[in-house]
Amino acid sequence: MTLAVVAVGGNAISPPKDTGLAAMKAHIAKTAARLADLVEAGYELVVTHGNGPQVGNILIQNEEARHRVPAMPLDVCVAESQAQIGYLLQQAIRNEFASRGSSRTAASVVTQVVVDPADPAFQDPTKPVGPVYDREQEVVVLRAKGWRMVKDPRGGWRRVVPSPRPLQVVEQDLVAAILRGGDRSIPIAAGGGGIPVVPRGTGYQGVEAVVDKDLASAVLGRGIGADLLVIITDVPKVALRFGTPNRVDLDRLTPAEARHHLQAGEFPPGSMGPKIEAALQFLEGGGRRVVIADLDTVLEAVSGRAGTTIA
């Protein structure tokens, strides 16, 4: 049976402009159905997921309530979003299997990801998080807190934080143990890229940063010996000259071709770039195949009839 890490993008968790609970549940139920399709097709799954809108909402709640309760640091907010989305996913997956007459279930693992404290990202924060601040006075106060603020292209100001590269998933052995368990549970791990931690003595300490979900999924896949990495995104295929009249959709890429296009600037850092980087890391670490596709065509994509395959 093929072991696949399936990285679920943000649009498969909630619609772009509606992160309310009802909308999230509807999207997650659809995602659970597609994941069950993959299991029925013979794949053993580990599920990872994004958390951008959800952790942003938690940060807004922190700011709005900071005069009444202590605000939590970013690593704790990532953990909160992991548990929130993991709960909804594991419930939806179990319900989907039950509707198909199966006793399969899922188990969420609140996951830490080791990063290098000397990673250059800590000196050059670039990842926007949290709300947009419109008033200059607010920005002055937030800078006094030590936050780095940048102008948002759509207006206002946003906080930016480091996005260091993931090195190892702390709980990867626990994920592997769940896979070996007799109840055939599907692990849900590395949500939102995992909680970034750095080594401290004999243990770890959380840091104020966020980790890219797809890069963390590649690290997890390598750590547990997965054969396949499936990246579910909001486009049906990887494309060259995306967003132009000369767009070319790609059915298949070699790692060398993918690296060439990445270095040529075809895959921007804020969209397809990290996905291609994750694909290359996974393959260089022993993975056999990467598939990038949207949710509706993911089953066809893993059999080579849709999406983009890198192998």
**Catalytic residue, candidates 9, 10, 193, 287:** 10
**Catalytic residue, candidates 11, 51, 57, 62:** 11
- Angle, vertex CA 155, rays to CA 153 and CA 157, nearest 5: 90
- Angle, vertex CA 49, rays to CA 38 and CA 260, nearest 5: 85
Q: Does the active-site annotation cover 10?
A: yes
**Catalytic residue, candidates 51, 56, 221, 275:** 275
* Backbone dihedral angles phi then psi of residue 229, each to the nearest 5 degrees: -115, 120
Q: Residue 77's closest CA among 219, 207, 176?
A: 207
Q: Does the active-site annotation cover 127?
A: yes
Q: What is the DSSP letter of 145?
A: T
Q: Residue 269 contacts by C-beta under 8 Å, 6 or more apart in sequence? A: none
Report residue 61 as tokens.
Answer: 């709640």
* Alpha carbons 93 and 106: distance in angstroms, whole number: 7
Q: Does the active-site annotation cover 275?
A: yes
Partners of 17 in beta bridges: none
The answer to whether 158 and 131 are in contact (CB under 8 A) is yes
DSSP H or E segment with residue 261 = helix 255-263
* Backbone dihedral angles phi then psi of residue 125, each to the nearest 5 degrees: -65, 135
**Catalytic residue, candidates 50, 213, 221, 307:** 213
**Catalytic residue, candidates 127, 194, 287, 307:** 127
Q: What is the DSSP letter of 181?
A: S
* Alpha carbons 261 and 265: distance in angstroms, whole number: 6
Q: Residue 132 contacts by C-beta under 8 Å, 6 or more apart in sequence? A: 152, 154, 155, 156, 157, 158
Question: What is the set of active-site residues?
Answer: 10-11, 127, 213, 275
